[in-house]
Structure 1
């Protein structure tokens, strides 16, 4: 054997076997842990007794054998499941067909292929660099891959479906936005790998989906690493595209790639989530976009949503950094978690919207839904933050004369409602709240909340529970208030004790951004209520359109809702 002829190798493996036939590319796109075939045209017949042949695959800027980014693939008689190896499966004169095996732990990414031959008689060695690349992806069809997902319908939905639905609005008025994920469109695979290349994580870490997901969570936003999207909640989108104008991920990723890593303007949570779904599905990780209604944003790792008042029941704004968003969109991705205790695999929450930093970078997850549900917030990654989003209690605090704060009221069902995603195989909405938490008010749910809070910054929050024998509930008729019309609220106050009670209700009507940030206070009231034992009182509040509409119009692109806040005065006195 002296050399390889021109046009030395052809791809032979049918991409449908690897479930990659939808990618719009003429490169070889394969999934790890699965054999693929190539054909070599040699300058003369191959003789295994006098000739040697091996393949080399390299990925990343500095390929190294020790880091599994420079792969040497020997020719063997029989293939083993867990190794990079090649076997001759057919030989016809100068043409040799090889079956190549890759391990399920292979690093994903773009590889360059080199074919090396050696004649043992003459010692002459010939190498040929193939002109096309090989793209290696995760393999959720392979039982030994950590992203393996059982069920063809689920795989079709969470890996192969290139369109979907993202939900928004309020729990009473849930809207759906059709989103074009477009993970198979021309140039998108290259753009997704460019996102990985633009990160600080070396290619050697791309064999572990936990690492990859964590990197993507950081790289979809831009504050600290020049990621894909720049967030903007101001209502002023000059110099970019309004977040509401996007209907898919394709143009965002193409623009980011085309402009060499310049963040695209602008995104909000559903855009960050949609792009994350595109990238992770493109790389082979089962992923879905998820919407949480009444989503808490815990800023101090207390695992409670805290509201502070002064001695006169006026809000202390500089302390009220926690908020409750009308809705917030993030992602679930599917994988085993060998880095965690048994039972923590399956769906993992991932959030690319830049809210809080994790180990110094704006990212969140992957956090096991099983850990979130049980309150095991000491398990990585960022489980406390996601737990607070879906299951934190809303605690009201009042400042005492000595400057300390005491609890005056708590709402145990204030956050984490109607957690929604698109159903498998249809455009219907499916409620997955039960995957994130036990039924509200159940013993298991209360144990999870109190377990979680013991690991927060206020571990004693449940050590001295407040006696709330006067209860108040605010209800709305039908779907609740709609912008452009009056709103009517029904307030029920009930004395559940065996003694008379006198209490003071403080109410506040405000126009809020959908992120839970206060825009303007519309109306404030104070009402003294006297109740006999086991007595209830019913009242109604009507909020006319003229009371709030001017505030709404001033920032109508970002305002989310009318919000009615009501709290009890701290001390309930016997009559």
Structure 2
């Protein structure tokens, strides 16, 4: 009688990836599955059939030097806390038996190897048959990253494109981003990121054991996205030229960054800023199976001395001065990951802040989080990790001081501007979702005179007379748009029963989102007379020719200082705003009948809104639509001129994909963007 032997083993990839919702990782040669759920392999035997009475099988699963050996049973009862392997006794094909392997819902993330041992008549036959990649499983209720709604799992795990929000809270800019988690090599690079980490290099066994915990994984990834302490992915740069690398504003997706990092032997990619760090981290976390979203905090405080106060200094003519180590970024971008927090209590489950942008050290390393959003709202500074730092980012007060030399002329306090608006992409929609109330208790609306735009404070240290009767309110008439004048009003209210002569100083400076303003590019000064109790409004504008060559992608810091010529009292109001860039328009022919592997045509249109000719380079990309990038050089285009560029693309996979276009203007330091969501039907 012939002995039993194994001819072949099939990993049943198509069935398993569909069951585990990993079919989009089609470029990976390995089987990709999620923990806490079984996957099936099929044996092809020769010699004789498998005899359940005399033959037995054991499977050895290995992660590095860690391993578990489990017998193959005939019990279909799956355990979510232990490794288990079983054959389904119903319909068992003894020449081609199927074996189901089930990992615990707390198994470590990583690339596993496994071996098969067949025991028959006292003889052991061994067969090594490949590997599988195990990810977290937000579909499994026992997994610590379980998220209970299917639309959220689709958005925060499976969606390979999205929007990042920038600009200012009053004029939000939605920037398209391709997370690229299904692009070739990205999955493997994300796993290698864990291997390259200092934690793994220092103690591989301990690292593998800890990879069962998303709290641990997220801290490792947060540190590895920046390169300050390790061989991390991105090198940050916030000033000067970017000639040694790529301007952070030019990146359109995570794939190029992760591939470059891997191809250069894990040398840091130059350069990143906050939204790039956050978007790349979002890619890594989604690949690893941990729900993740990108969050923008408008007017984000960086409180260097931990006193929850940010000081801003202005000259008596309204120019903002660079005198403080504290700073407020017009926007700052981080990520939130969804997980339970058994280490600090169930009340802190849910979204956790993680910030890979290198700002402060946490445990000696440049990383931040996971800090429970609930703990930030309740100021639970007794909990880990980094809650005081994030709390200050969304809650610090601002002290605004007008100086003459070293002499303080006025003081005012703003308790509303920091963390004024916090948002993320809405689930299933191309718009933002306001999540400010998740981070802080929202104060009830106040009267016009006490709103944030009125920066007069009764705390003024330069009091002349028994009352402070002058208010100033600076207000943009509408969100500024490129090519149009910036129109604004200054409302001045004399609440005293005596007339006043007031000097009015207006000052505008270009400002990068993360930095102090540069020199003044526009200013005006004048004198007005206020009758007793008079309420007057001054209308002013900054013309396109005055800001276009200065501002670029930057913002504008606009300030007004009123000087009471009688009492010498000063009152300050300020506003920082961005000018909305034009959008590229993308139209697709036959967009209702797009299927994989068939050529399609799109047209990108740009209308020049500026008062002078522009030229530049147009770049078009789209994960799942275009291999790599397509570039075109745009010749000089006059004011109000229109140019069209036709492109062809061949979708490689079904699903909703993002087609992106980016026009980098050569003479204005501006990137103009557009995107189109493309629905690719299954053929």
TM-score of the alignment, normalized to the shorter chain, above 0.5: yes
Aligned mates of 1:145, 1:273 — CA distance in 2:
24
5+ long unaligned stretches in structure 1: 65-69, 444-464
Matched, 1:346 2:350: yes
**CA contact 2:317–2:561 (8 Å) conserved in 1:** no
Q: 1:269 to 1:472 in 2, by over 3 A?
A: farther
User: Shift of the alpha carbon at 1:94?
Assistant: 3.4
User: Shift of the alpha carbon at 1:148?
Assistant: 0.8
Aligned mates of 1:359, 1:565 — CA distance in 2:
43
Partner of 2:616: none
Partner of 2:62: 58
Partner of 1:450: none
**CA contact 1:413–1:440 (8 Å) conserved in 2:** no
Matched, 1:23 2:37: no
Partner of 1:361: 365
**CA contact 2:477–2:487 (8 Å) conserved in 1:** no
User: Shift of the alpha carbon at 1:216?
Assistant: 1.3
Aligned mates of 2:58, 2:410 — CA distance in 1:
71
Aligned mates of 1:23, 1:174 — CA distance in 2:
33
Q: 1:406 to 1:150 in 2, by over 3 A?
A: farther
Q: 1:531 to 1:75 in 2, by over 3 A?
A: farther
Aligned mates of 1:203, 1:568 — CA distance in 2:
65
User: Shift of the alpha carbon at 1:490?
Assistant: 3.8
Aligned mates of 1:128, 1:37 — CA distance in 2:
17
Q: Helix, strand or coil: the match of 1:419? A: strand
Matched, 1:83 2:82: yes
Instruction: Give per-residue Cα distances to partners, 1:283-319, cap 9 Å, x unaligned.
Output: 111111122222222222223323368999998745x
User: Shift of the alpha carbon at 1:249?
Assistant: 1.2
Partner of 1:476: 475
**CA contact 1:474–1:489 (8 Å) conserved in 2:** no
Alignment of 1:499-514 (within 5 A): 509-514=508-513
Partner of 1:429: 432
**CA contact 1:395–1:407 (8 Å) conserved in 2:** no
Aligned mates of 2:563, 2:396 — CA distance in 1:
20
Aligned mates of 2:438, 2:265 — CA distance in 1:
39
**CA contact 2:340–2:349 (8 Å) conserved in 1:** yes
Alignment of 1:301-316 (within 5 A): 301-307=306-312
**CA contact 1:503–1:571 (8 Å) conserved in 2:** no
Q: 2:557 aligns with which of 553, 562, 574?
A: 562
Q: Helix, strand or coil: the match of 1:337? A: coil
Partner of 2:42: 39
Q: Helix, strand or coil: the match of 1:265? A: strand
User: Shift of the alpha carbon at 1:103?
Assistant: 0.9
Instruction: Give per-residue Cα distances to partners, 1:216-245, cap 9 Å, x unaligned.
Output: 111111222121122222252213222222
Aligned mates of 2:370, 2:568 — CA distance in 1:
43
Q: Helix, strand or coil: the match of 2:11? A: strand
**CA contact 2:337–2:354 (8 Å) conserved in 1:** yes
Q: 1:375 aligns with which of 372, 376, 379?
A: 379
User: Shift of the alpha carbon at 1:388?
Assistant: 2.0
Q: Helix, strand or coil: the match of 1:338? A: coil
Q: Helix, strand or coil: the match of 1:343? A: helix
Partner of 1:461: none
TM-score under structure 2 length normalisation: 0.69
Alignment of 1:104-119 (within 5 A): 104-119=105-120
Partner of 1:412: 415
**CA contact 1:243–1:267 (8 Å) conserved in 2:** yes
User: Shift of the alpha carbon at 1:547?
Assistant: 11
Q: 1:311 to 1:378 in 2, by over 3 A?
A: farther
Alignment of 1:161-240 (within 5 A): 161-201=159-199, 202-240=207-245
Partner of 2:11: 10
Q: 1:256 to 1:531 in 2, by over 3 A?
A: same
Q: Helix, strand or coil: the match of 1:93? A: coil
Partner of 1:155: 153
Aligned mates of 1:299, 1:479 — CA distance in 2:
34
Matched, 1:74 2:104: no
Instruction: Give per-residue Cα distances to partners, 1:310-334, cap 9 Å, x unaligned.
Output: 999998745x122222222221221
Aligned mates of 2:329, 2:560 — CA distance in 1:
14
Q: 1:163 to 1:144 in 2, by over 3 A?
A: same
**CA contact 1:502–1:572 (8 Å) conserved in 2:** no
Of stretches 560-569 and 416-425 in structure 1, the one that deviates more from structure 2 is 560-569
TM-score under structure 1 length normalisation: 0.81
Q: Helix, strand or coil: the match of 1:511? A: strand
**Greater relative contact order, per chain length (Cα 8 Å cut-off, separation 6+):** 1
Instruction: Give per-residue Cα distances to partners, 1:317-371, cap 9 Å, x unaligned.
Output: 45x1222222222212211111223321111222222222222222222221111
Aligned mates of 1:568, 1:137 — CA distance in 2:
63
Aligned mates of 2:319, 2:513 — CA distance in 1:
23
Q: 1:316 to 1:157 in 2, by over 3 A?
A: closer
Of stretches 183-192 and 428-437 in structure 1, the one that deviates more from structure 2 is 428-437
Aligned mates of 1:546, 1:251 — CA distance in 2:
35
Q: 1:245 to 1:316 in 2, by over 3 A?
A: closer
Matched, 1:95 2:96: yes
Partner of 2:590: none
User: Shift of the alpha carbon at 1:417?
Assistant: 2.8
**CA contact 1:296–1:388 (8 Å) conserved in 2:** yes
